[in-house]
Structure formats: structure tokens, C-alpha cells
Amino acid sequence: MTHVFDEATAVQKVDARDGHVVRATTHPAYNNMVGPFGGITAATVVRSLMDHPDALGEPLALTINYAAPIADGEWDLDLVVIRTNRTNQHWTFTIDQNEKTVATGTAVFGVRRDTWADTEQSAPTAPPVEDVPAVDFPDFIAWAANYDTRFVVGGLDSASDDSTSTLWLRDEPARPLDYPALTSMTDAFFPRVFLRKGTYLPAGTISLTTYFHATNEELAAQGSDPVLATARGARFGNGHFDQYGQIWGGDVLLATTHQLVYYKDAA
């Protein structure tokens, strides 16, 4: 039986004179307040890049800029290789729908080499996942039902002077972690302004960048176990803020992410 995540990120090749164009279709299970969940769109891009016949190595970085909401239905992804070096490869892409560009971005793939390594950051402290209760989100945030979410700190209970959330996170139903799923998880943090204000506000991601630190072997070792995710904002004002996040598998830093988010004050 196909997992809903794989259904939502499936694409088919379409004819194109230039480049490599694939066609995706929005999935109602990953609807958000306006348009589809940005994480599922980014995950579809990563899956399509990995499946490209010219792809080199593994994903290292992705930046996607959401220029406009994607409407329900089909959308086209045009992937272009800019340059391939010995150990890294650079891409640009555009997402078009109804003859208009709704997103743009870049990606870097590469071959991971055995070198000196160290991780300066440490995973947040958290109780065992089974000791933390799962939470539900409102029905209008449909995509959240596809995750088992358990807040250690920073749930949307009341306003807070600290925008930090730390949570256990896993696909629901459980699914082995791979790069597309990891991509989606880096966008699974609700906008930090919700936590600061203690309520839902009109808000959305403008730009999402994800850095993939995990190797294929580390993803395989993680399997379908929950990851520990943490995020916080830096500065809020003038209708925008940024937020930084980390995804951990045990003491292994799997991915980091940075977003630029717009918001409007509640009426």
C-alpha cells in the first residue's frame, strides 16, 4: 500500500523542448491554510531532483522561494543543471502553474567524502518520546495530521516571550526517513509568530533553505523512529521574521533549516 507521502510527491515526466520538466498534482492530505503545505512542495522538488538521470550524489542544500500560492491541481517543475563539478552539482528550478511562475529555487547535490568531522551543536534535552503526549492541530491545517507531533516545549498553548519549540516528530503512519521526507520535516515548524502571540495569524513562508547533513547510511539507521526537532525565531517586525531549525536523530544532526516568513497582525 502506497504511503500518502509518496502519493503526494509523485510526478510524471512531460514533454519539454528545453530542460527536464515533470508534472505534480496537489494532494488534499497536505493542504494548508492557503494552498498546499510548503514542505510537501519542497519534498517533491527534492524527489524529482534525485530521480533526474543526471543527478550527482546526494542532496546537500535546497532553497525554494514561494512567489505565490499553488492552487489545487497540477503544477509543472522545470529542472535545469547549471554546472556539474567533480564533487558538487548546481541546479535551478521553477514551478509553473497556469502559465505563471509560482516558485523558484536552487539546489546543490554532491558526493560526500570521508574527511575530518565534528558537530559543534548538541541535541536538545528531551524526555523519551513515549512520555510526551501527541497533539492535534485544527482541521484547516490538514497536513499536520500526517505527522505524529509531540511538543516537549513551545506548543501553541499561550503567548510566550521565547519562540523556541522542541518536539518529537514522525510521519503518520510511520515511514522510513529519506531525503524528501526530511525536507518536508524542515518545514513542519509552525510560524514562530504564532507562539509569540499565542494565536494563529495570517502567515506563510516566503523562502525556505534546507541543508542536508545526513548521509544515506544515517537515514537508513534512523529508519522510521521519531526525530527530535527544534526551532526558534530571531527578529520579528515590519511584517516579516526569520526562524532557524534543526532536525536530530539521536545525537546525529540530520538537517538544518532557515526560513523567511511573512505575517499580518490579527484584526
Distance from C-alpha of 60 to C-alpha of 50, rounded to nearest angstrom: 11
pLDDT confidence bin for 38, thresholds 50/70/90:
very high
In a domain, 189, yes or no: yes
Distance from C-alpha of 180 to C-alpha of 248, rounded to nearest angstrom: 16
Distance from C-alpha of 81 to C-alpha of 48, rounded to nearest angstrom: 13
CATH of residue 74's domain is 2.40.160.210
Reported as a single tens digit per residue, the pLDDT across 229-256 is 999 999 999 999 999 999 999 999 999 9
What is the extent of the structural domain holding 171? Answer: 4-111+127-263
Specify the number of domains making up the chain.
1
In a domain, 149, yes or no: yes
In a domain, 120, yes or no: no
The pLDDT score that the predictor gives to residue 34 is 84
In a domain, 121, yes or no: no
Q: Measure the CA angle with vertex 165, ends 138 and 222; round to 5°.
A: 95
In a domain, 74, yes or no: yes
In a domain, 32, yes or no: yes
Reported as a single tens digit per residue, the pLDDT across 52-104 is 999 999 999 999 999 999 999 999 999 999 999 999 999 999 999 999 999 99
In a domain, 187, yes or no: yes
Grid cell for residue 267: 484584526
In a domain, 118, yes or no: no
